[in-house]
Structure 1
């Protein structure tokens, strides 16, 4: 029975601690004195002006199953965590914990009274065996700018002896053992029992005589105040400078007692340590519909540290365990400072649309780092990401217009789109799917768009929360039948000065035009670059001259597999 002593809280910086408390026993148990347990007792806290309280933890304990509602300076306190232990089936014990930081910060250096701890009505069965006790203690962690950079670890639980109790303290990092210390809160120790009662650190017996002889460690004392009348409880602290070495990451504590039953409730170590502690958090991320690129904003912190975090500390980003991006910190990050930056990550199709994004600082890409830190297990941040998947592209009917020249025509994309969808607002048109997805190179004037290829696919994007809808349709041009006028007048008056066959030039680019006089003589031969202006370019007599008024016969070879040659009469006039 009992709960192993484990790390509860760690403080890194210019920290140290002290402790106060008092027994509720009127005399040491087992001495034949009246079996009375008081309901209150007091102790005085005295801090220097430059010592600022950062945490205060109240522990109280006693015989039987427990009283978990007490008062501290008339302020009600309820246990936040409870512990239990037993000597045998009939002798059980309890301990309790409450964080009283705010209360102690508001009171400061003063007298503290714990009251309303009442076990008097149930204590009598414990008295004949000398196991009747109750008491309380407050561990106060403070910050002082005059202190070196320390690592202060608070461990708690409820573990008991006799025989041998071994506790291994991890989460240490010893850079300098000067003024290294270890402290305890222990219950039910008896001054009169000193049978093989020893405390060892890393195999070395330690003591603090005359207050704490090496053979009677648990003897009702407070090492901080020198008090020796804390019946059946101990608030002790020991210098372990010569019992722990630079570079140690753990320490082994052994407690032995040949007869006395003792319960350890709290252990605190204070060691010099100068290391950074890199953590990372995701501040914001942006996902866009149909886009597998994610822009993330993140912050690298060096909180709870005792040294700067160097620049170029590696950062790796994982999607479902696959590396999707890497970068480094840009600057040296001071103690208790941060650096914010951003990166764009491209998520592979193989990862899927829903995944766990992991941000990992001090990580070269294989979950290993290059910086020695106070805590190597807090470098990651995870976030579930759901990409916005664009609906499939809807294909609309194609639109065909007559060629206006060089395989191009003028299309009103707005009208074409509205006729197929009845949508006429918030529509943007693009000539490629990638432009649509990235919202780049939008068609400037969709009401008068000239195609650049034939056919050409047009893409339309309509915003629709939280994503968008996309469409595609083809625009095509074809050679429509040309319109042949029945006459013209090349008199240089502007209009109608040449044989203007509309829908022919730059459309049927391979056409051939032949003009004959009424006698059947070929007098003109033209093509796409040579329209007929009323002059002859064939024959001998009229070469290069305007031809006389009259009716002429034309033959138009369009040279288009969809059309036959055309022939007819045209009247030339002036």
Structure 2
């Protein structure tokens, strides 16, 4: 089950004396795995605004990000906040950053803002080290005489929330919530309810805050509680929690902003489904823009997705391809998780996972459904993972509300007919060179001209429409015979048929005239359909006196009027005249030798 911030509300949300416009803090992003968080940032205020009537403010400040060995940055979110409606373009280490999301707050006739940008790539490339935010210009807005200066709410600052992964960490669930909510003497309380926690282990549980405009010297009943327990530590006393401090560096001079982290191991109950955060302030104006929680939730999270539903023609059988995933999780999803299958919300079938699914992985499955006669021909198909027919499941999950698949619209109506196709037999071109042209079969197989035809060399691939034959007009066979599967389909249905591609060794054709003069025409003794077809052939050539002058096979060159046998010197040029050949094909289909005369000229 995922952590979800159900609601954040202000008491006295609408007042007759003041108007509050805010953007409620809500869950922005969740991380499940070996994750933790840190933050880096700094203020633009040279001093606390409640202690000085001189309202100077910087436009640049720096701080150092510290990471440990093995920490790998997963995400980095930049927040910058201040008085006014917003300077929405700043620079981080010299790189221009524009706000991607902006959270406004209007209170006591003054505007405040917090801006957001995802800076993951920049922080991943830079890593640990110095970060400088610059060109954040508020000086003209908050100077002496302004409303912000007069009521001591002139402030500006920035923070980068960093989510990192480390293989030495426990499996945790991190939630990043953001928005902009404020409390003060007129609106004294904010309540955040975190629901569906299912905490399995409270070890290392913590919560972090990015807060703005808190004052050290205004400590009149300012309290932060978690499940009714006060959150405080040495940097953040119980009556002034948001007091310009940084839990990551120990700094007490982050004037009018806070980066605070609190241990909540003792305040959260294992198995308890909810947690309540309350912030109260009877005087100090405090704004919270970001809340980060880390809890040890080691649970799987099963989801399911339907890909296709193909019905067989003339039947009520439907073949469904689907995937069960365990992506956003912190533990293995075990085998045997039930899957309830519904047609028009009526239970019709059961399936289950067959293997454990690790964190971040999935399992592809196929099932053949026999649709009951009571179901209409047109219906909606839905799968629900971790559910039996009675609606109950067996697996506790991080999110119990995402087990329902997408829907597929299925129609059993319609049929496809086809014409039978004859096998194709052609002469063997040798050594994988035989090319078949069955382009005409696209139209020949159809009985309806609007049907779609595709060809496959594998029956299963024909069923799921993958790896179709790309060029039916020039298909090189890989076997003899090779079966070609034909898929004929319309919008509602498909059928398959097949035919064979056969190659045969055709009788070779002898061209018995050789003019060995290197003019490129009949220079050698050429026998069409011999080489690489009858790979074991033996060819012998004799002169007019019956003497063997040349012999060859599939590995030798064609005869070009020279000798390689007999008493003559090998390679000797033979005289013009008539020669006699004996060709043994060494093929069981052609047991008799072929003989004839050759006329050699030069």
Same fold (TM over 0.5): yes
Equivalence for 1:489 = none
CA–CA separation in structure 1 for the residues paired with 2:494 and 2:132: 70
Output the TM-score relative to the length of structure 1: 0.67
CA–CA separation in structure 2 for the residues paired with 1:333 and 1:469: 33
Instruction: Kindly state the Cα deviation for residue 356 of structure 1 after the two structures are TM-superposed.
Output: 3.5
Instruction: Kindly state the Cα deviation for residue 174 of structure 1 after the two structures are TM-superposed.
Output: 1.4
Equivalence for 2:121 = 102
Equivalence for 1:133 = 155
- Which range is displaced more, 49-58 or 366-375? 366-375
Residues 22/464 of structure 1: CA separation in 2 closer, same or farther (3 Å cut): closer
Equivalence for 1:81 = 101
Equivalence for 2:291 = 267
- Which range is displaced more, 72-81 or 287-296? 287-296
Corresponding position: 1:176 with 2:201: yes
CA–CA separation in structure 1 for the residues paired with 2:160 and 2:344: 46
SS at match of 1:260: coil
Corresponding position: 1:253 with 2:277: yes
Instruction: Name the larger-Rg structure.
Output: 1
Give the number of aligned pairs.
411
Equivalence for 2:461 = none
Residues 212/287 of structure 1: CA separation in 2 closer, same or farther (3 Å cut): same
Corresponding position: 1:330 with 2:330: no
CA–CA separation in structure 2 for the residues paired with 1:217 and 1:312: 49
CA–CA separation in structure 1 for the residues paired with 2:371 and 2:63: 61
Residues 468/237 of structure 1: CA separation in 2 closer, same or farther (3 Å cut): closer
CA–CA separation in structure 1 for the residues paired with 2:87 and 2:371: 56
CA–CA separation in structure 1 for the residues paired with 2:396 and 2:306: 23
Output the TM-score relative to the length of structure 2: 0.64
Equivalence for 2:230 = 205
CA–CA separation in structure 2 for the residues paired with 1:111 and 1:469: 63
Match of 1:91 among 110, 114, 131: 110
Equivalence for 1:41 = 61
Instruction: Kindly state the Cα deviation for residue 304 of structure 1 after the two structures are TM-superposed.
Output: 2.3
Corresponding position: 1:116 with 2:140: no
CA–CA separation in structure 1 for the residues paired with 2:412 and 2:193: 50
CA–CA separation in structure 2 for the residues paired with 1:84 and 1:41: 23
CA–CA separation in structure 1 for the residues paired with 2:236 and 2:335: 48
CA–CA separation in structure 2 for the residues paired with 1:298 and 1:121: 60
Superposed CA RMSD: 2.9
Preserved contact between residue 289 and residue 387 of structure 1 (Cα < 8 Å):
no
Q: How does 1:4-15 map to 2 (within 5 A)?
A: 4-15=24-35
Unaligned runs of 5+ in 1: 394-412, 415-423, 429-461, 471-574
Residues 275/77 of structure 1: CA separation in 2 closer, same or farther (3 Å cut): same
SS at match of 2:282: strand
Instruction: Kindly state the Cα deviation for residue 102 of structure 1 after the two structures are TM-superposed.
Output: 1.7
Q: How does 1:48-447 map to 2 (within 5 A)?
A: 48-88=68-108, 90-123=109-142, 124-162=146-184, 163-209=188-234, 211-288=235-312, 291-348=315-372, 351-387=375-411, 389-390=413-414, 425-426=444-445
Residues 101/171 of structure 1: CA separation in 2 closer, same or farther (3 Å cut): farther
Residues 155/392 of structure 1: CA separation in 2 closer, same or farther (3 Å cut): closer
Preserved contact between residue 306 and residue 323 of structure 2 (Cα < 8 Å):
yes
CA–CA separation in structure 1 for the residues paired with 2:99 and 2:292: 20
CA–CA separation in structure 2 for the residues paired with 1:297 and 1:44: 51
Residues 134/151 of structure 1: CA separation in 2 closer, same or farther (3 Å cut): same
Residues 301/467 of structure 1: CA separation in 2 closer, same or farther (3 Å cut): closer
CA–CA separation in structure 2 for the residues paired with 1:3 and 1:380: 31
Instruction: Kindly state the Cα deviation for residue 388 of structure 1 after the two structures are TM-superposed.
Output: 6.3
Unaligned runs of 5+ in 2: 1-20, 422-442, 448-486, 496-602
Instruction: Kindly state the Cα deviation for residue 294 of structure 1 after the two structures are TM-superposed.
Output: 2.3
Residues 349/85 of structure 1: CA separation in 2 closer, same or farther (3 Å cut): farther
Instruction: Kindly state the Cα deviation for residue 383 of structure 1 after the two structures are TM-superposed.
Output: 3.0
CA–CA separation in structure 1 for the residues paired with 2:329 and 2:115: 30
SS at match of 1:249: coil
Instruction: Kindly state the Cα deviation for residue 351 of structure 1 after the two structures are TM-superposed.
Output: 4.8
SS at match of 1:152: strand
